[in-house]
Structure 1
Amino acid sequence: MRIAFYGSSLVSAYWNGAATYYRGLIRNLAALGHEVTFYEPDAYDRQKNRDMDPPDWARVVVYDANEDAVNAVLAEAAQADIVVKASGVGVFDDELFRGILEHGRDDALKIFWDVDAPATLADLAADPGHMMHALLPQLDAVLTYGGGDPVVEAYRGFGARHCAPVYNALDPETHHPVPHDERFACDLAFLGNRLPDREARVEEFFFKPARMLPHRRFLLGGSGWEPHQLPENVRHIGHVSTRDHNAFNTTPLAVLNVARDSMAKVGFSPATRVFEAAGAGGCLITDHWQGLELFLEPGREALVAETGEDVARLLEGLDRDRAGEIGRAGRARIMAEHTYARRAEQVDGIFRSLRDVRSSRERKTA
């Protein structure tokens, strides 16, 4: 089936946390026979910070961030069997949402793919006049980056016909064990852009342990931390290209995952970093969130912390042998159950089921 996918960016991970998610899913959907065109705006300097060339498994259309260009790419939706609008494009989001319904063929599936469901649902709850209230019932389905039953039930409550979580996963071709790289040598590493929805938790789970353990070395990657007063034993290296993520995850004694406030509150929302780190064989320390056990077994496949003190305690009790055991166990679990090949099979099944439902509905009304 031909899929028109309107998202933030496929070719750049710069200020675009969904890049790995899109790449893994779309590449594996292409392997199942789908023809995907990904439409992304030239915005937020993403095109100046590309970390991959346009792939051979998807057609990438980059358009200017203006109304005429948006209308031009929306007109191409009429060529697709499935039209997808992802959340968080960053520009013309409302116009793109309306556009997939206006320009998609009557027989095409129309899908909203929410990569930040907690934030979207909070907006819907706070604003009865939000334009999505009227548009959700017109869609065939909402797919989400995560969230489990709470998100599914919330979307159904707002009128969605169908909602299903499609969790992050591992792409073994891009995230895998590599030799250690001294640029990333440390005891605990954390990679994440500075965001208001995560800053307090980063303070608790990363900066607090760093202050508690002045004899340990901490490494901070990501943008926006420059004005922050860092502990002396924290080294900040700025944006880390995706080509260096494997070394960033495998070189440190342990790598930290910190959920955003909204994701931690909802639960069932593993960050891309969880799968990248485990897939590279890194020893993962993660803050606790509901549903973690669906992906990794605490204590055996990942270490879990409720507080910053827990992170410090876990790090002090960790040596290379123990870290290696956890990293290998985590990688084995992710490889067995949580690859993008499996997620693509799930999505392909959803598409086919939705088309069957559509056909049945049309027969009843004929």
Structure 2
Amino acid sequence: MTAEPRPLKLVVLGLSLSSSWGNGHATTYRALLRAFAERGHDVLFLERDAPWYAAHRDLPEPGFCRFALYRDLAELRNWTREIADADAVIVGSYVPDGVAVGRFVQETARGVSAFYDIDTPVTLARLERGDREYLAPELIPHYGVYLSFTGGPTLRTLERRWGSPAARALYCSVDTDAYRPQDAEKRWDLSYLGTYSPDRQPVLERLLIEPARRAPELRFVVAGPQYPADIAWPANVERIEHVPPADHPSFYAASRFTLNVTRADMVRAGHSPSVRLFEAAACGTPIVSDRWEGLDDLFVPGAEIALADGPDDVLPVLNGWTEATRREVARRALERVRRNHSARRRAEELEMCLLEAVAAAAPPRRKLAGAPA
């Protein structure tokens, strides 16, 4: 019988846990660390007291972990003992003064130090051009494990090109307690939820705006901020400026299908799922997605997700799938997410990665003189 893993003391220095304003890191950390704490581990999250988050803290007192703000590197040193005594210390991507923070952690931690990259393709592009905003090449070999939002060949690049002793995929996940199917009247045939991005806009044009032009009898919606005022939206495309995270499940429930569009750097790297994929599937809404390498490792095309390159792929799904087919594809994707991509599953993976790194860092046991070989 396998023994239960011992509780770990974990310190995380991340971009933000307290505020989800303008960043996707907070929701990632919240789901993951809540589930990790449920497994019996002790978690301390240290966050730089950034003024742009101060007025937008929607979780100022997390109930699942200890939480503290620090104003600068000097104040971070007040937590030296906790960092030194922890079994593992994680430094996240985009942490302010991340190189100095990482160096301090590596010099101080007696346990495993790890880097959690929620922005892996961006990070690697920065490293190639010598950008050291939050990670420096010389730090990577000294992080016992490099946890990456991107899997696939990128993990080999991190090990062979940048010297990581252990690069492991730790994808985003979804809190399946918060994101669940709801019964709701269908307001839209195809929805899209996402902030405007210039590199995503041509794909949105092909997979939603052009289908809307060709099918004026169907209803579409694009929800998210920062879209330029000069975009010519068809009359059957509704615009919503912002949907708060708490309202995401009801937004998906009102959609017959929802669209996933991936950032260009994530497409180039492959194996970089967006949290929107998992959130929509957890809500029981079938997904139409752009194509990229590694997507078929997450969902079975045609059975759990619909893939599209242009309007000629999208419209047959919206007009041709029976209600029974739509519901069956959604059911299969929901089962897949609950099995493989829930926050609880990701917390198990984090636990395994950290325990593996702890074991690898442990000094070899000395054999007693005279002991049998």
Same fold (TM over 0.5): yes
One-letter identity of the residue aligned with 2:83: A
- Give TM-score, length-normalised by structure 2: 0.87
Query: 78, 87, 94: which is aligned to 1:81?
Result: 87
Deviation at 1:173, TM superposition (A): 0.9
Q: How far apart are 1:32 and its partner, in Å?
A: 1.8
The amino acid of 2:55's aligned partner reads K
1:26-61 per-position Cα deviation (integer Å, ceiling 9, x unaligned): 112112222111222344744433444533211222
Q: How far apart are residue 152 of structure 1 and its match?
A: 0.7
The structure that is helix-richer by fraction is 1
More moved, 18-27 vs 154-163: 18-27
Residues 308-331 of structure 1, C-alpha deviation per residue, up to 9 Å, x if partnerless?
Answer: 432233223245443222211211
Q: 2:209 aligns with which of 207, 210, 234?
A: 207
Q: Hey, what does 1:246 align to over in structure 2?
A: 249
Q: In 1, Cα distance between the equivalents of 2:114 and 2:205?
A: 37
Q: Quick one: distance in 2 between partners of 1:307 and 1:234? A: 17
Q: Residue type matched to 1:201 in 2?
A: V
Q: Which moved more, 1:236-245 or 1:189-198?
A: 189-198
Structure 1 residues 51-85: Cα deviation after superposition (integer angstroms, max 9, x where no partner): 44533211222344x55555556775334221111
Instruction: Please give the secondary structure, in 1, of the residue aligned with 2:173.
Output: coil
* Structure 1 counterpart of 2:5: none
Identity across aligned pairs (percent)? 31
One-letter identity of the residue aligned with 1:14: W
Question: Is the CA contact (8 Å cut-off) linking 2:150 and 2:269 kept in structure 1?
Answer: no
CA offset at residue 121 of structure 1? 1.1
Secondary structure of residue in 1 paired with 2:155? helix
Structure 1 residue 128, shift from structure 2 partner: 8.8
Q: Which amino acid aligns with 1:6?
A: L
User: Alignment partner of 2:168: what SS?
Assistant: strand
How far is 1:116 from its partner? 1.2
Change (3 A) 1:264 1:98: same
SS in 1 for 2:178: coil
Cα distance in structure 1, aligned partners of 2:241 and 2:47? 25
- The one-letter code of the counterpart of 2:295 is L
Contact 1:152 1:165 in 2 (8 A): yes
RMSD, matched Cα: 2.6
TM-score between both structures, scaled by the size of structure 1: 0.88
1:229-250 deviation per Cα after TM superposition (whole angstroms, max 9, x unaligned) = 1413222212211111111112
2:280 and 2:334 map into 1 onto residues whose CA distance is 8
Q: Pick the aligned partner of 2:106 from 84, 92, 101.
A: 101
Contact 2:151–2:168 under 8 Å retained in 1: no
Question: Does the C-alpha gap of structure 1 residues 100 and 274 become closer, same or farther in structure 2, counting only changes over 3 Å?
Answer: same
Moved more, 152-161 or 216-225: 216-225
Q: Is the 8 A contact 2:339 2:345 kept in 1?
A: no
Is the CA contact 1:117–1:147 (under 8 Å) kept in the aligned structure 2? no
2:238 counterpart (228, 235, 238): 235
1:292-307 alignment to 2 at 5 Å?
A: 292-307=295-310
Change (3 A) 1:308 1:79: farther
Report the Cα distance in structure 2 between the residues aligned to 1:198 and 1:362, rounded to whole angstroms: 53
**Residue 344 and residue 248 in structure 1: after superposition, are their counterparts in 2 closer, same or farther (change >3 A)?**
same
Further displaced range: 209-218 or 139-148:
209-218
Any stretches of 5+ residues in structure 1 without a counterpart?
none
Q: Tell me which residue corresponds to 2:342.
A: 339
1:161 matched to 2:165? yes
Contact 1:181 1:247 in 2 (8 A): no
Contact 1:146 1:167 in 2 (8 A): yes
How many aligned residue pairs are there? 357
Q: Deviations over 1:263-300 (max 9, x none)?
A: 11111111101111111111111111111122211111
Q: 2-side partners of 1:44 and 1:216: how far apart?
A: 44
| CA distance in structure 1 between the partners assigned to 2:365 and 2:206 by the alignment | 54
Mark the runs of 5 or more structure 2 residues left unpaired by the alignment: 1-7, 368-373
Q: Offset of 1:178 from its aligned partner?
A: 1.9
Q: What CA distance in whole angstroms lies between the structure 2 residues aligned with 1:39 and 1:204?
A: 42
Kindly indicate whether residue 316 of structure 2 is the aligned counterpart of residue 313 of structure 1. Answer: yes
Displacement of 1:192: 1.0
Does 2:180 align with 1:176? yes
- For residues 259 and 363 of structure 1, the distance between their equivalents in structure 2, rounded to whole angstroms, comes to 51
Residue pairs, 1:114-125, within 5 angstroms = 114-125=117-128
Paired residue type of 1:112? F
Q: Which has the greater radius of gyration?
A: 2
Query: Which residue number in structure 1 is paired with residue 39 of structure 2?
Result: 32
Contact 1:38-1:59 at 8 Å conserved across structures:
yes
| 1:145 alignment partner AA | F
Change over 3 Å in CA distance of 1:225–1:356 after alignment to 2: same
1:109, 1:166 → 2: CA distance?
17
Residue 147 in structure 1 maps to residue 154 in structure 2: no
Deviates most, 191-200 or 152-161: 191-200
